[in-house]
Copies of this chain bind each other. A is one copy, B any other.
Amino acid sequence: MPGFYHRRVQVSVIGSGAEHEAAAEEVGRLLAKRGCKVVTGGLGEVMAAAARGAKEAGGTTIGILPGRDRAAANEWVDHAVATGLGHMRNFAVVASGDAVIAVGGHWGTLSEIAFAKILGRPVVILEPGLEADDVDRAATPDEAVDFVLARLEHPA
């Protein structure tokens, strides 16, 4: 039986910062409840929290790692890909999502938002988040998830 992966939406959750883990976990949970797979960079903080939330809600998670060894993935990653790309793997993280939600974050997250925009992926920054011109913002995890799913259904 074919995988029909293409019928399942994949949403990339990006960001960093221990203080944003609760929000990221909620985003992961909500995405899983809505039937989406969660894609992250596979490491700690926001990436681990989003994957943990998705697994708590019975979802499926993909981790796209900077190094060559998939053992570096956090324990909530179901499917780990080792790229050896270092920070350039940020491109693959957002390219592999149909849409992108940013939770906290710093320079690495900004590079991901930039790549997501270049790729034309819908992106939303969850408050309080990075400053970035021309990027939509959401006040709550619920709003962020609603936003990207609405965009995927009705592209702007």
Contact = CB atoms under 8 A, between A and B. Distances in A.
Given A71-B6, A88-B85, A119-B68, A1 B55 contact: yes
Chain A contact patch, size range = 35 or more
Contacts of A118: 87, 107-108, 111
Contact of A2 (B55, B84, B107): B55
A137 interface: no
16 contacts: A2-B55, A2-B75, A3-B55, A3-B76, A3-B77, A3-B78, A5-B73, A81-B81, A82-B96, A84-B88, A84-B92, A84-B95, A86-B91, A108-B118, A110-B110, A111-B118
8 nearest interchain CB pairs?
A3-B78, A111-B114, A82-B95, A110-B114, A2-B75, A107-B117, A107-B114, A88-B88
